[in-house]
């Protein structure tokens, strides 16, 4: 399994049957393939009930998410306009939102929509990080040139402050707690020191540190 799918599979473990969950662009969009039955996925362009990503004759233009990826709707799916969709987001009824990240700070601030020379677009992220009951960030631990994405203070424009609950990467899982960032899962073969060298904040180590499945 490649690292992106491994991240998505681990993030999907936070979902339970009956949850309504929003999935963002990129790695988050893969989570629907790993969720247990009964999880309902929300797309901010106006649908609850987004199923697995579609291919072949199942790929119908009318069932596309906010990033134009086509999917198979599940039984009981409901479509509505974007105003109702964002009313749902702001109501606090979303169990979780899964988003990509450019930077996450030591206090759980998130930057995920712009960096110098590159703007990805805000989309509904500001609403999602404030409206969802749980915010899960899925991303590689470092940039392609080896720079940390988990930083003391975000240098990119913020999406939200103190909004992140969990950070899922290809090497580890980190929880944002009142006391700081806590390493709770670690890929087999790595040590806490291996992770610490790749992030800026000093990590707390869980007394129940688990092995992240490869």
Which residues are the active-site residues? Answer: 44
Q: In the chain, count of helices (H) and strands (E)? A: 4, 15
86, 124 in Cβ contact below 8 A?
Answer: yes
- Identify the residue whose tokens are 């004759």: 57
Do β-strands 166-168 and 180-187 pair in parallel, antiparallel, or remain unpaired? unpaired
CA dihedral (196, 137, 2, 183) in degrees, to 10, reads 30
Q: How many CB atoms lie within 10 A of CB 130?
A: 16
The Cα 9–Cα 66 span in angstroms is 21
Question: What gap in Å lies between CA 60 and CA 25, rounded to an integer?
Answer: 19
């Amino acid at each position: 399994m490649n690292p992106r799918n491994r991240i998505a599979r681990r993030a999907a473990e936070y979902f339970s049957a009956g949850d309504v969950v929003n999935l963002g662009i990129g790695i988050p969009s893969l989570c629907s393939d790993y969720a247990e039955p009964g999880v309902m996925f929300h797309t901010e362009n106006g649908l609850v009930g987004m199923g697995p990503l579609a291919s072949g004759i199942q790929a119908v233009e009318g069932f596309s998410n906010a990033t134009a990826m086509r999917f198979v709707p599940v039984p009981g799916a409901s479509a509505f306009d974007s105003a109702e969709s964002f009313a749902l987001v702001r109501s606090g009824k979303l169990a979780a939102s899964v988003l990509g990240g450019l930077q996450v700070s030591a206090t759980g601030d998130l930057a995920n929509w712009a960096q110098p020379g590159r703007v990805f677009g805000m989309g509904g992220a500001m609403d999602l990080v404030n409206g969802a009951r749980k915010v899960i960030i899925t991303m590689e631990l470092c940039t392609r040139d080896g720079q940390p994405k988990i930083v003391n203070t975000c240098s990119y424009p913020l999406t939200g402050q103190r909004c992140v609950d969990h950070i899922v990467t290809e090497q580890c899982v980190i929880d944002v707690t009142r006391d700081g960032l806590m390493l709770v899962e670690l890929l087999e073969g790595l040590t806490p020191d291996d992770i610490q060298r790749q992030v800026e904040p000093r990590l707390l180590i869980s007394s129940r540190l688990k092995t992240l499945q490869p």
